[in-house]
Structure 1
Amino acid sequence: MERRKSMQWIQQGIMLDKDVLGLIYLYMSWAFADVNIALKKPTKLSSIFDPKVSQQMDYICCNSTYAVDGDKTSLFPRYPSGDFFCTHSDSLAYQQSWWAVDLQEVYVIIGVDIFGRTDCCTDQLANFDVEVFMPTCTSNNWNYVEDGCKINCHYQPAASKRITVSCPSNTKGRYIRIRRRDTSYLVICEVEVYGNRIINFHKSDLGSTIINHACRKSGYGYVGPVIGTSVAHSYIQCTSTCTTETACYAAEYDNNTNVCTLKGKCLNETQSSLYVDKDKHVLFIR
């Protein structure tokens, strides 16, 4: 009888809501990556709200760094009678509001925890995407984030005080960007990012899944030192060849000639590492 009850309990547990199971999986994953890798890392904001201009008031406010300062006591801001230690963009008619953090290394991103205001104005954290960018060159600066491959981890339509985001399996990147789909204010009080640093893709145990999850840019060639060339039947074969070469960072494949060119890391961080070529594919191995 007791065994039957136990089996019924297990069967009921299996029928748990998918969202609940997802959260259980997320928190189990975070147990193995419990360090906030965004803490005090470099940040950038599309624009900064200036209370002197907008409200004719003078108080400490709005810097992009407040979102990664590790201080969640500011979730209930002391505005308007005091300072406001949350990231706060301006609302510009010609620009979507966004905030980004540079993790300074490439990670497999497991999850992102976003904290908004708790006093009011939850609409200031709404209608946004959480995006992860894999750079085309490890030394690229902020100006070339868009060159990289982008994965959309989550879209949040509703206003929220806090949202916990689980990224798709094997999401890899260096930059995390939270971007509104409109031009309204974006206000974030704290962001925590959890993940595992990738030491060397070539030494990983991912095997053939490297090819499936490689960062791919179609219609572009890559500026980088040539390691070698060969003929390949497809960009997949070309990418596979790159994974066997420790120094190979990018596999450049030409659809017309079937030439596979293996290239190392780009050498110039002050310019884009890509150039337009409609016949080529570039896949980055990191």
Structure 2
Amino acid sequence: QNIALGKQTKQSADKRQKGSYLAVDGSTNDQIGNRCTHTEQEFNSWWSVDLGAIYLISHVIIWGRKDCCIERLSSFTIDAIMPVKPRKCGPYQFGNWTDFFMGDISECHYQNEKVDFLNATCQQNTVGQFVRIQLEKTDYLSLCEVEIFGRQLPSEYIGGKGSYKCGSSGHRIEGDFLETAFARSIIECVYLCSVRHECYASNYNKATQECQQHVAEKKSNPLTNMIQDPDWDVFGSL
């Protein structure tokens, strides 16, 4: 199921009233200029959709223009953005467009060659509420339709009862670890922990992108073993 259809969208600028909503109107047949989004010509032109919840993104399909300027749709990234950073001992809340500009980014795909159609499989653990398509050059960005596929993450991930909802920057916990993994953000590190029932907290090193998954008794609070360390962030359950 296309989770982008009819959702709220934005883009870096509107040219000739060709708004961002045209990329999620459900029409994949009209790959011509008057049925496609259009930004101004600028560096890092972007388009984004708010999925309204946090998803694990599997793939993104893009229809570009066929009537003109195919070379414009090249040298771009597809990113998922998780807009809410862990708050100290508080649940996740869905973000807004202000959070969008500050969120943790998971790169789904980078496309160098020009395309008028792309079916991009995302990298593993691409997680976010927003999906953004952004040029890595100075040009117009025009999209005729964007479809996004993935699964909504359960309440255990986004801050429901018994979830990973207590954390602190500049700290880490000591104790026994299930494993050490690589993660591109604290959000991905938390996700890796959340899918393992025996994992109750994560240490994340921002510099090395090291993710330490901590094991503890479910009824205990692993954050009681927290110590100060400026290189690490910790996020765990209560």
For Structure 1 versus Structure 2, the TM-score category normalised by the shorter chain is 0.5 to 0.7
Q: 2:47 aligns with which of 99, 107, 129?
A: 99
| Counterpart-to-counterpart distance in 2, 1:159 and 1:233 | 40
Runs of 4+ more than 3 Å apart = 201-204, 208-215, 232-241, 253-256, 282-285
Are 1:174 and 2:129 counterparts? yes
Deviations 1:167-190 (A, max 9, x none): 112322111000001120000000
Q: Give 1:85's aligned amino acid.
A: R
Q: Does 1:281 align with 2:229?
A: no
3-state secondary structure, aligned to 2:29: helix
In the alignment, which residue of structure 1 is the partner of 2:40? Answer: 90
Per the alignment, residue 63 of structure 1 pairs with 19
Indicate the structure whose relative CO is greater, using CA pairs within 8 Å and at least 6 residues apart: 2
Q: CA deviation at 1:213?
A: 5.4
Rounded to whole Å, the distance in 1 between the matches of 2:215 and 2:148 is 31
Corresponding residue of 2:149: 194
Supply the AA of the counterpart residue of 1:198: L
Contact 1:116 1:189 in 2 (8 A): yes
Query: In the alignment, what sits opposite 1:151?
Result: 106
- 1:113 and 1:284 mapped to 2: Cα distance? 35
In structure 1, the residue matched to 2:3 is 37
RMSD of Structure 2 on Structure 1 (CA): 3.7
How many pairs were matched up?
192
TM-score relative to the length of structure 2: 0.68
SS at 1:72 equivalent:
coil
Match of 2:186 in 1: 216
Residue 97 of structure 1 and its aligned partner are, at CA, apart by 0.2
Following superposition, the deviation at residue 145 of structure 1 comes to 1.8
The alignment partner of 2:118 has SS state of strand
**Bigger fraction of residues in helix:** 1
Shift of 1:96: 1.6
TM-score (norm 1): 0.57
Q: Which runs of 5 or more residues in structure 1 are unaligned?
A: 1-34, 51-60, 78-83, 218-231, 257-277
Q: Higher Cα Rg: structure 1 or 2?
A: 1
Gaps of 5+ in 2: 85-91, 164-177, 188-200, 205-210
Superposed displacement of residue 99, structure 1: 0.3
